[in-house]
Amino acid sequence: MKTPNVVFNGIGSYVPDKIIPNAHFLNHEFYMENGQPFDISNEEIIRKFEKITGIKERRYANDDQLNSDLGYLAAVNALENSSIDKEELDYIIYAQNFGDMKAGSNRVDNMPSLAAKVKHKLKIKNPDVVCYDIIFGCPGWVQGVIQAFQMIRSGFCRNVMVIGAETLSRVVDPHDRDGMIFSDGSGATIVSASYDDDRKGILGFANRTDADEELNYLAMAKSNKPGLDESAQYIKMKGRKIYEYALEEVATAMQSALRRSGIFMENIQKVLIHQANEKMDEAILRKLGQLYNLKLEPENMMPMTIQKFGNNSVATVPVMLDMILKGKIEGHHLKEGDDIILASVGAGMHINAIIYRM
């Protein structure tokens, strides 16, 4: 039997309407990790934050929206842009980290799975559409696509929906300046078998997990503000450690994926990197160029959405890809035959990369 190409057969996204500008944080009480207040003004904290991350605003879900609601909206959009009926799906893989956390609550809700909730919302009746969630930090959507590729190549399925959605606004510490990075959003893709003669779709991938000293670079812990309920847990990150780790390892993961795909870096049109930090992503692209003695220009090769959307975790890469394909990112376009890299890094610590031909 002919080995199929594995392609994106429909992609969609949903970004909430609620815009949160940096000025929203001017009256927050920010504390350092040691529980001491900063000795500089919030204006200065925000100015430095924007200079490093590039973030000017972000999007938060409305109070009546759950993570699975965002995922459902992206899933509907992806199905509308695909060539299949929802009943033809074999699997729904939902990449997320905190479940359906309600507004005003710090309680994680992962039962039933968000994938099953989306199947229910889509009114899919076929019992053979199997649903499960994966928790893989910010690289979760990319990892879900890698799983879909492996499943389709095994010959046991043809169509897999991969969703990446998160509501990080509900798990950030309002007293931690790092909390300004995170946001909400969702992306979904139909990954399908294709029997075209031309080689296209997923050409290769690489992934890794570093869980030694890197394990707690991103983890849950109490608020930075002393005296608050210590049972409430929030996202905490070691920013400098993550920066150093990502700079060293993400470029080499992309290099490994290129080797496995047989594609030359000179042929890559776009590099879509997880939107965690503008300066970090630019440094990763420069490091990738150094590995090949190439000067890679971020403004031409590396689209960015972080300025307006912040870091919405598993959703950053599919949202960005969807926006490019729909002509919504100025100066960035893709055409049939273009080779691109999709890459991410996040809690675990996990890194992954995919080489994809449009």
Asked if omega into 112 is within 30° of 0 (cis), the reply is yes
How much of the chain exceeds pLDDT 70, in percent?
A: 100
Same CATH topology for 5-194 and 201-357: the answer is yes
Q: Determine phi and psi for 329, rounding to 5 degrees.
A: -120, 110
pTM: 0.95
The yes/no answer on whether domain 5-194 falls in CATH 3.40.50.620 is: no
Helices (H) and strands (E) in the chain, counts: 9, 13
Residue 224: its pLDDT value, please?
A: 94
Q: How confident is the model at residue 105 (pLDDT cuts 50, 70, 90)?
A: confident
Instruction: Using CB atoms within 10 Å of the CB of residue 154, give its burial: 0 to 12 exposed, 13 to 18 middle, 19+ buried.
Output: exposed
Would you kindly state where each structural domain of the chain is located, as residue ranges?
5-194, 201-357
3-state helix, strand, coil split of the chain in percent (to 5) is 35, 25, 40
Give the chain's mean pLDDT: 95
Chain segment 65-84, per-residue pLDDT in tens? 999 999 999 999 999 999 99
Beta carbons of 79 and 159 less than 8 angstroms apart: no
Chain segment 267-294, per-residue pLDDT in tens? 999 999 999 999 999 999 999 999 999 9
- 91-95 and 130-134 beta bridge pairing: parallel
| Fold of the domain built from segment(s) 201-357 | Peroxisomal Thiolase; Chain A, domain 1 (3.40.47)
